[in-house]
Structure 1
Amino acid sequence: MLRVMIVIFLVVLAGCAPRGRLAYLDQPSPEARTIFVGSTRAPDPETGQPYGWERSLDLRRARFAVATPPDHEAGVIDYPKFGYAADPKTQFMVSSAQIDMSKAEFRRDLKAALARQNGQAVVFVHGFNNDFAEGLYRMSQLGSDFDLPGVLVHYSWPSREHILGYAYDRDSVLFARDGLSQLLGDLQTAGARQILLIGHSLGSQLTMEVLRQEALAHNQSLLNKVSGVVLISPDIAVDVFKSQAEAIGMLPQPFVIFTSQRDRALKLSARLSGQEDRLGDLKDFKRVARYKVTVVDVGAFSVGTGHFDLGDSAALIKLLDRAGQVAKVLTGEQMGRTSLASAVILTVDNATQIVLRPLSGG
């Protein structure tokens, strides 16, 4: 009963927390990071924000420039919230935006950006209980903290933006598959040579569903452009992941799964879904040993709910940066085995597990 009461208390607190909103700088920043956006969210008539939680059958294309606050620290994401004044010194804010671009205009600008980045693109798919602004700012933070290579692209699917909206979000993942496929098609048409897919939480489910969908459609030309997949705290039942991987066939490489058994959000997800085995808190990586994947256990760096340690833990970011692993993973190379002094590395069949530990001595 006590555990149930704790869960209810956490749900109430999360439901009362102010949400992220789009806030604009008074003057455009020349150093703002450009992020291309595809979204299947409809406008929000209540708040006046251009993207809400209701579903849009049409893929809405946009381009944002997001400024990183000058006082930003790695592992910290602060963004403007409803009911509070925005602070450009400490918060990510929008420098400029073009919303509801035509397909031709979007692809033209995307083509020009890809040409400047040697055809490389990074697509981030947000997770459960995210509003549009939160996903956009998270993409900007990842780009800043990890110096992501290539054009930054964010796919924003219609999350209900509420801790009690889990069923709605799971349905939205299925609803949003075609939109993500269309966005990847835009990238292919615009000249992308390498597309890195990053999915978080339920966004990992969406990412896998689209890869499966393209494989079943025999769209090998698009799949060949996918230069790697990173799943962060994936909210996917292990058996579902295995069925998706079987349908995809040869998984894009590298294929990296960040896991943690201290992920409280996934434990709540397990309660809500009635399925305890989530890929993001995989207890025995041998269950996926037949697939060529790298499972990275980051539980030792757990902060907050432990659901986005890759982006929220300054210590983990520091370790990966010091080991030189981020660039290798995100540019298509497998994780090296010699530079991770604070790791235990195991290999079974095709899968590799890396258990990361904090650096000693700072």
Structure 2
Amino acid sequence: MEFRDLKSQYQKYKYEIDSAIQEVLDNANFIGGIDVKLLEKRLAEYVGVKYCITCANGTEAMTLVMMAWDIKERDAVFIPDFTFFSTGEIVSFRGATPVFVDVKRETYNIDTYKLEKAIMKTIEEGKLTPRAIIPVDLFGLPADHYEIARIANKYNLLVLEDGAQGFGGRIHGRMACSFGDAATTSFFPAKPLGCYGDGGAIFTNSDDLAKLISSIKVHGKGSNKYDNVRIGINSRLDTIQAAILNVKLTAFMEHELNDVNVVYKLYNENLCNIVEIPVIPEGYYSSFAQYTIKLKNKEQRDGLQAKLKEYDIPSMIYYVKPMHKQGAFLGIEINEKDLEVSSKLCETVLSLPMHPYMTEAEIMYISNIIIKYIKN
């Protein structure tokens, strides 16, 4: 059994993917080919924004935005404590300070009440200048973006939506990656829309930001790549990956996003009275990068993972430790009491196999093992 079954997906679209790759090979247009431009156009239209700029990976997508916004030393950037390391890493990479904010237990996303408290505290202390918020659309569920926007406007902060896991999600019809001043996503293979390597993208409605990022991502180019008007980096999505993503984007829109939500509903029907299942607020729609349950404590969670392994069922713990306990961030002052939810989640969450190609029989098989384990 696969945790995220990319093999079945490939077999279903083998002809289309192979043909797309072969066309790139035949044309020998490996960097910046027409497939890249087509993909950027389609992604922007799907999300509902003016610009999509592709790049090498999701981490560099966020780094490019930080560079364009000139995030620097003594700046404070507010991020959820319960998320993948890169969201904080790209802040420290610029010399700025990530301020960790606890998340809501039900949704796993940043707690907006605690966010505003953290901003106010940072202002009162006067050591750092609040500059930006990076809410994460964790496990496919968009963060509380409308409330985050209200807070950002109140304190004059920029917002970067980290949609690495959220692509395809939405709030009252508005798509993930369309919120904030800019948004990013990742095309890591296991993401809701993944390529066969690394890739990422930035989304924005800002003409100036799109122009600046397009320059920075190619060595700070001006009129051409040999006219360098600023210090930049080399961060491009190659044409083969774009060709693959164009095939997979069609599948994602036609059925995969819907199919993964069918899997979610079947899991819920089986497990709703057994463990704590994912909570999707009214008006929200998740792309389910992961299906994550909560157990009573670490002992029960670890025991269930071991039991599933006995039956060759893969599972994952996202995340084994919160951001504030990562060794790279140990020098940052924090109050453990302010981050209790994140710490507790790291001891109780478990993500189950989740992808559009799961069968009802597989879901029942996994669910029955969980039910038997919990009841015993």
| Structure holding more helix per residue | 2
Structure 1 or 2: larger strand share? 1
Between structure 1 and structure 2, the one with the greater Rg is 2
* TM-score computed with the length of structure 2 as normaliser: 0.30
TM-score under structure 1 length normalisation: 0.31
- Which structure exhibits the higher relative contact order, with contacts defined as CA atoms closer than 8 Å and separated by 6 or more residues? 2
